């Protein structure tokens, strides 16, 4: 069975969830690390927010670790994600750029970084799909990548910022 076959066999909710999560993972560094907050940032930001909301909402049709009915700990993260998206958009619309940026960075860390890393725990679908036979090594690789991304993010935050260009009026 190929990787695509295993994902499709998991059902439409899982397939939809994985596709929207991958879209969010690909767009996150582009949107978050882009220095200019221009029209492209806004367009990609809306696409990213849609992908994040789709990922969070689709999780409610996936029940792997059940604690309360069909829901598990990951569903708490989904609720956090939806709430944080709402708050971040509210901050952006009110012009509070720093708060918007902070919420979005935290959202990317917790909802993509932490949840994404946990998706690769040995025995889980993503781990079986991508690292069949080498799941422990695969999880170690993903965890190392996540730690590297966090360290890179900390270095990026400490880098001197260029002054913003003033636009002619």
Number of domains in the chain: 1
Residue 11 lies in a domain: yes
pLDDT in tens, 122-157: 878 888 888 877 878 878 887 887 788 777 766 666
pLDDT in tens, 83-111: 999 999 999 999 999 999 999 988 988 88
Please tell me which residue, 23 or 70, carries the higher pLDDT value. Answer: 23
3 has a pLDDT exceeding 80: no
Q: How far is CA 143 from CA 66, 90, 146, 148, 160, in A?
A: 24, 32, 5, 9, 28
The token duo for 133 is: 């036979």
Q: Of 2-16, 41-55, 82-96, which gets the smallest average pLDDT?
A: 2-16
What pLDDT is stored for residue 161 in this prediction? 58
Residue 71 lies in a domain: yes
Residue 87 lies in a domain: yes
pTM of the model: 0.78
Query: Are the C-beta atoms of 91 and 99 separated by less than 8 Å?
Result: yes
DSSP 10-79: T-HHHHHHHHHHHHHHHHHHHHHH-S--SHHHHHHHHHHHHHHHHHHHHGGG--SS-SBTTB-HHHHHHH
Residue 169 lies in a domain: no
Residue 165 lies in a domain: no
Show the domain range for 18. Answer: 3-158
pLDDT in tens, 153-163: 666 666 555 55
163: three-class secondary structure by DSSP: coil
């Amino acid at each position: 069975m190929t990787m695509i076959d295993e994902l499709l066999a998991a059902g439409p909710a899982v397939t939809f969830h994985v596709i929207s999560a991958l879209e969010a993972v690909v767009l996150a560094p582009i949107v978050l690390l882009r220095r200019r907050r221009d029209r492209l940032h806004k367009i990609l930001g809306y696409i990213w927010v849609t992908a994040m909301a789709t990922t969070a909402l689709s999780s409610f049709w996936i029940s792997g670790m059940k604690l309360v009915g069909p829901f598990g700990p990951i569903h708490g993260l989904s609720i956090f994600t939806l709430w944080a998206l709402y708050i971040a958009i509210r901050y952006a619309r009110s012009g509070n750029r720093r708060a918007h940026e902070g919420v979005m960075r935290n959202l990317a860390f917790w909802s993509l970084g932490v949840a994404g890393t946990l998706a690769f725990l040995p025995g889980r679908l993503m781990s079986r799909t991508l690292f069949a036979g080498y799941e422990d090594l695969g999880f170690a690789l993903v965890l190392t990548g996540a730690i590297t991304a966090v360290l890179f993010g900390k270095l990026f935050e400490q880098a001197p910022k260029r002054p913003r260009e003033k636009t002619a009026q």
